[in-house]
A and B are shown apart, each in its own frame.
Chain A
């Protein structure tokens, strides 16, 4: 990053104020997360004492057991895993073919379709929630897992089409021409030849979709109001509410850790991809 700086050392001294604020910010982020992780092994009584992280009574792994079993985190967690994975698979099946035809073929309505999908990125949830609820309740689909998956999928389809568009645009047309000469059908050409070529972009967009669906709150709040179908974000809210009254703070922080761990671990390994993805999206927008 020292492209336009002649003297690196002098530059570093000038940057000291920037270092101070950035390091303070980063340190605070670490403290925030580390404290919650420590607290999840502690007890309410210890938190309110002077020796909170002395762990005089040992590490309380039972907080996790309590959260997992008694507070039903296991149910929410398994629901979220299922919703997220099935939705991600459905998004691949629905969004990538659409993105492919929009980016590679000229036909009537192409621009219109693109504009429709892009416009939906600016439609707030509050605009769509009420009619969706009327339809869903008329069809008796409240608290239905497949309905939730359909909603999560549909919400992410326009973004995925938009994100994958340049990946397809950048592929050479010779692939399809060669496949056509060899007698491969257009649909077969897509799945066997074109689809494998967009893996890098696809992985990035699927990480975004995973994180978005895992953390989705509002739709789940409205359409999943039974414990058995709730995903983690809404489940966590309910747990925090109940633990606030019972005063089990160790258990509360343990559930927080369980809920943020999957996306946190994903980020630990794939932060470079995620960051490059946002940067690429910003240039297009």
Chain B
């Protein structure tokens, strides 16, 4: 059919405008801002002074930023390993003929549709509560009196408690991605391997896993994007002030630029905030680039 120029313009321009205003222009401006000394966000551009890599130096020498980077690296690595492992086990288990497959799958995904604020509240004020909480009652019931006394949201365990609560909700999403990958594997491969006498474990490592490369890539990229946007859980677990255990770069940026919770911080540094934004963007790009290599080497294409 002939392209109709007028129609293309009318149909495409509103969407492009949304993209330009909300994504493209702000991204470019954040990039530029990260090389300038900018105090407040509403300061006029004429007050900006060139800083070179000054903002990047500032943040990488800042103890709180270092801590926040450490935290999200731990979230990415430990949380990522845990979530990927559990969701892969669930996906493989559910697709190998479990009864109630659809029901289990739906319930495991459920936390993803509930507001993170509501989920975090359930964890903090119920599961981790030291008087009537789930862990307290559960451990006390089985006689682990000492373990039942643990203050899960106390400073000693705050980070791991937050990570567990966060990961619990993420498993469902990544499990669904794995399931969709597994369901695409042609049944004939498994049948042929079975006739040749391959057992479950061999079939998993020699058929399922090689076929899941693309799926693993999707999962890693998505996990990185989610980790970079880590904010609500940190704020929920330390609502009053930034704390070493829960701070993520986005929480720190919010504090630095919007001067959120602490009255002690009167100086705002938007240039440094922008630099944090760029560092986060670079992390997504690295994850994207590295996982592309993983798939390019792939000789089995579905």
Contacts and interface: CB of A to CB of B under 8 A. Distances in A.
A26 B114 contact: no
A264 B117 contact: no
B97 A122 contact: no
B280 A124 contact: yes
Contacts of A121: 225
Given A26-B108, A101-B7, A267-B110, A4 B191 contact: yes
Contacts of B288: 122
A129 to B, nearest CB: 8
Nearest to B194: A4
A36 B41 contact: no
A283 B121 CA distance: 34
B122 interface: yes
A56 interface: no
Contacts of B177: 278-279, 282
A131 B274 CA distance: 9
B23 A128 contact: yes
A29 B111 contact: yes
B268 to A, nearest CB: 11
Contact of A32 (B3, B127, B249): B127
Interface of A: 1-5, 8, 11-12, 14-15, 18-19, 21-23, 25-26, 28-33, 35-36, 39, 47-48, 52, 93-95, 97-98, 100-102, 104-107, 113, 116-117, 120-134, 137-138, 151, 153-155, 157-158, 161, 173, 176-177, 180, 186-187, 190, 211, 214-215, 217-218, 221-222, 232-234, 236-237, 240-241, 244, 249, 252-253, 256, 259-260, 263-264, 266-267, 271-272, 274-275, 278-280, 282-283, 285
Contact of B232 (A97, A128, A217): A217
B11 A25 contact: no
B131 A278 contact: no
List 4 A-B pairs, minimum CB-CB distance, nearest first. Answer: A18-B93, A98-B15, A97-B11, A128-B26
Interface in B147-190: 171, 173, 176-177, 179-181, 183-184, 187, 190
B294 interface: no
30 contacts: A1-B97, A21-B89, A22-B90, A29-B107, A35-B122, A47-B132, A52-B132, A120-B23, A123-B27, A126-B250, A126-B276, A127-B281, A130-B26, A131-B25, A131-B33, A151-B22, A154-B18, A154-B22, A155-B22, A157-B15, A158-B15, A215-B114, A256-B118, A263-B113, A271-B109, A275-B105, A278-B176, A278-B177, A278-B180, A283-B180
Interface in B112-160: 113-118, 121-122, 125-127, 131-132, 134
Contacts of B121: 236, 240, 252-253, 256
B114 A260 contact: yes
B125 A252 contact: yes
A126 B229 contact: yes
Contacts of B280: 124, 126-127
B35 to A, nearest CB: 14
A244 B121 CA distance: 11
B41 to A, nearest CB: 5
A161 B15 contact: yes
A240 to B, nearest CB: 6
B281 A124 contact: yes
Interface of B: 1, 3-5, 7-8, 10-12, 14-16, 18-19, 21-27, 29-30, 33, 41-42, 89-90, 93-99, 101-102, 104-111, 113-118, 121-122, 125-127, 131-132, 134, 171, 173, 176-177, 179-181, 183-184, 187, 190-191, 194, 200, 215, 218, 221-222, 225, 228-229, 231-232, 235-236, 239, 249-250, 253-254, 257-258, 270, 273-274, 276-278, 280-281, 284-285, 288
B22 A30 contact: no
Nearest to B5: A107
B253 A282 contact: no
A126 B277 contact: yes
A274 B24 CA distance: 29
A93 B250 CA distance: 32
Contacts of A256: 118, 121-122
B97 A15 contact: yes
A127 B27 CA distance: 6
Contacts of B118: 236, 256, 259-260
Best-surrounded residue of A176, A180, A186 (most CB of chain B within 10 A): A186
A220 to B, nearest CB: 11
B215 A282 contact: yes
A165 to B, nearest CB: 12
B26 A8 contact: no
B41 A124 contact: no
Contact of A19 (B33, B98, B122, B179): B98
